[in-house]
Amino acid sequence: MVNPRFDFIRERAGYLPEQDRYLFAAPPPQYRFNVIGTGMNGQEHIKVTMLEGRATVHGVYDPNPRSIEAAKRIHAHFSPTDELVVYRSLAKAIHDPAVDGLIISTPNHTHLEVVKEAVKSGKHILLEKPMATTIADAYTILKLARDYPAVFQVGLQYRYKAVYAEAIHEALVRRSIGNIKTINLYEHRLPFLDKVNQWNKFSRYSGGTLVEKCCHYFDLMNLFAQSRPVRVYATGSMAVNFTDFEYNGQPADILDSAFVTITYQNGVRAGFNLCMFAPMFHEELVLCGDEGRLKAVENIDFLPATRPANSLEIVCGEKRPARITTPCYPVWIEQSGHSGSTYYEHISFVDSIQGKPTNAATATEGFWSIVVAVAAEQSVKTGQVVEIADLLPENPDAL
């Protein structure tokens, strides 16, 4: 793959003939991807694809001209001599025989229709989170992905954040805290950012905050629980953000805070807390097992005090050594988007195409993250405990 460590001085080597390039050489990409939807996430996928280097972005499709122009600028930064193909229709972008893979990053409510067309191509697919906005749509996508002949990966990339990647390794591979019994995870952050047509301010387009934003965390909780959810109870409100916001005469209706509790089939209990009117980005995971406790923190704030952005601590009492670490990636990776998790998501996508084992999120895992999220949204609305079995289209054991 391309070595981005040299990007900051690569321009100074423009005088070198090709035969004299070694450290500055960029091997030709092995795969070509098209990006469907070039808003904020789509632009990040373009950047990371080009940065990772084993693939290139061949073309893009988006009905918004300004999104296309932004995509062109990003592409030109990495590949100034190659023209980015701009498709006039979704079908042409999906079925271009010059392309090996599709990255779908359109608004949430469009995912099912885009996927229905995309699977006709037989190309490798990376579908952004959330997989869908409803359980019915997610189940349809799951069935389409089950026997799909190529890679079908869901963009639940938070499992690649440095602190969570280390937590997964410590808890599930090294089993540093024994058998996990409780999971607590919370995110405190700024409000939803602006989107084209402000679709993320409306539950009918986003699926609701607990679907749009929090499916990442429910995926992590499902992963650590190593079990299926059976019961969800949640409370939440629209306490601060967008309380007077309207778009085309329609008032926003998304939660900005919530508490969610989940009971798993194996007895693991989990709790999630969301606040989207905090003056920072802060995530914290606490796992308690029968042999110890793990705490992972990611923090981005605006204070002058010096402290690590990431930390992970494992406390095991007298059973084994305790430790405190600061998991991180190189700066150029962390700055590429979502604290570097998207970069490693793309590594897994290409690795999967090459037949290498990865821990990329499958369609099944994407489906179960939606199940928990939809159950939580329903519980907030009704004030009742939601039994997962009541929401599923068939017997849970068959899913």
Count helices and strands (H / E) in the chain.
Answer: 14, 17
Burial class (CB in 10 A: 0-12, 13-18, 19+), 367: buried
Q: How many CB atoms lie within 10 A of CB 281?
A: 15
Query: Going residue by residue through the chain (399 aa), what tens digit of pLDDT does each one get?
Result: 445 545 545 555 667 787 887 777 777 899 999 999 999 999 999 999 999 999 999 999 999 999 999 999 999 998 888 999 999 999 999 999 999 999 999 999 999 999 999 999 999 999 999 999 999 999 999 999 999 999 999 999 999 999 999 999 999 999 999 999 999 999 999 999 999 999 999 999 999 999 999 999 999 999 999 999 999 999 999 999 999 999 999 999 999 999 999 999 999 999 999 999 999 999 999 999 999 999 999 999 888 888 889 999 999 999 899 999 999 999 889 999 999 999 999 999 999 999 999 999 999 999 999 999 999 999 999 999 999 999 998 766 667
Please state, in angstroms and rounded to a whole number, the distance separating the CA atoms of residues 285 and 171: 12
- In the chain, the amino acid numbered 70 is A
Largest interatomic CA distance in the chain: 69
Burial class of residue 395, CB neighbours in 10 A (0-12, 13-18, 19+): exposed
Per DSSP, helices labelled H in 3-158 are 7-10, 40-52, 65-78, 90-95, 111-118, 135-146
Q: Is residue 150 within a helix (H) or strand (E), and if so which, with residue range?
A: none
If phi > 0 it is left, if psi is from -120 to 50 it is alpha, else beta; for residue 124 that is: beta
Does the domain spanning 159-333+363-398 belong to CATH 3.30.360.10? yes
Residue 299 and residue 281 in contact, taking contact as beta carbons nearer than 8 Å: yes
- Which helix or strand (DSSP H or E) is residue 107 part of? none
Domain 4-157 has CATH 3.40.50.720: yes
Residue boundaries of the structural domains of the chain:
4-157, 159-333+363-398
Dihedral (Cα; 61, 66, 70, 72), 10-degree rounding = 50
Cβ atoms 258, 376 nearer than 8 A: yes
Which residue in the block uniquely carries the two structure tokens 């090459």?
354
Of 130, 142, 137, 146, the residue nearest 113 (C-alpha): 137
- Considering the entire predicted model, what is its pTM? 0.94
Give the model confidence (pLDDT) of 81-99 as tens digits. Answer: 899 999 999 999 999 999 9
Cα radius of gyration rounded to whole Å, the chain: 21
CB 240, CB 209: distance < 8 Å: no
Give me the amino acid identity at 22: Y
Rounded Cα distance between 64 and 196, Å, is 8
Distance CA 209, CA 195 (A): 14
Cβ atoms within 10 Å, residue 209: 27
Q: Of 213, 301, 215, 199, nearest to 250 (Cα)?
A: 199
What b/e sequence results for 187-198 when a residue is b if at least 16 CB atoms lie within 10 Å of its CB, and e otherwise? Answer: bbbeebeeebeb
Phi, psi dihedrals of residue 236, rounded to the nearest 5°: -175, 170
The tokens for 301 are: 């704030």
The Cα-based distances of 144 to 115, 150, 338 in angstroms read 8, 12, 28
Question: Hey, how many other C-beta atoms are within 10 angstroms of the C-beta on 41?
Answer: 21
User: Which residues, 6 or more positions from 87, have their beta carbon under 8 angstroms from its beta carbon?
Assistant: 34, 59, 60, 61, 93, 96
Count of other CB atoms within 10 angstroms of residue 72: 16
Rounded-to-10 torsion of CA 145, 146, 147, 148: 20
- Burial of 119-150, coded b for 16+ CB within 10 Å and e otherwise, reads bebebbbbbbbbbbbbbebbbbbbebbeebee
